[in-house]
Amino acid sequence: MIKEAVVIGVIIYIVINIAQVLDRPLVALEGFVIIASLVCAGILYWYRNEEILRRWEGVALWAVVLLFLVYGALKFGGAI
């Protein structure tokens, strides 16, 4: 039941992103990156090998943390 809810949520967010890309073509690159990320997350959720899944979850988590730190540093430094 939880996997189905996650897939439905991914589909809803993909539809929202497609609507935003169609409404504002300037955010097309961001929209497609988000859509690709959502598709990858949805596919990984159905993956059966727990060790590989745990490794990719760790990579995704640390990537988000590092991107947040880079954003904070750029914002603090006045680059953004």
Both tokens assigned to 67: 């991107």
Same domain flag for 30 and 8:
yes
Burial of 63 (0-12, 13-18, 19+ CB in 10 A): exposed
Structure pTM?
0.60
Judge if 53 and 66 occupy the same domain. Answer: yes
More confident residue, 36 or 43: 36
User: What are the CA-CA distances from residue 5 to residues 20, 45, 54, 56 (Å)?
Assistant: 23, 11, 20, 21
Quote the pLDDT of residue 68: 92
**Other C-beta atoms lying within 10 Å of the C-beta of residue 27:** 13
Q: Containing domain of residue 30, as a range?
A: 1-46
- What's the confidence (pLDDT) of residue 38? 86
Nearest Cα to 34, choosing from 23, 45, 18?
Answer: 18
Q: What is the pLDDT of residues 42-67, one digit of tens each?
A: 787 777 777 877 888 888 889 989 99
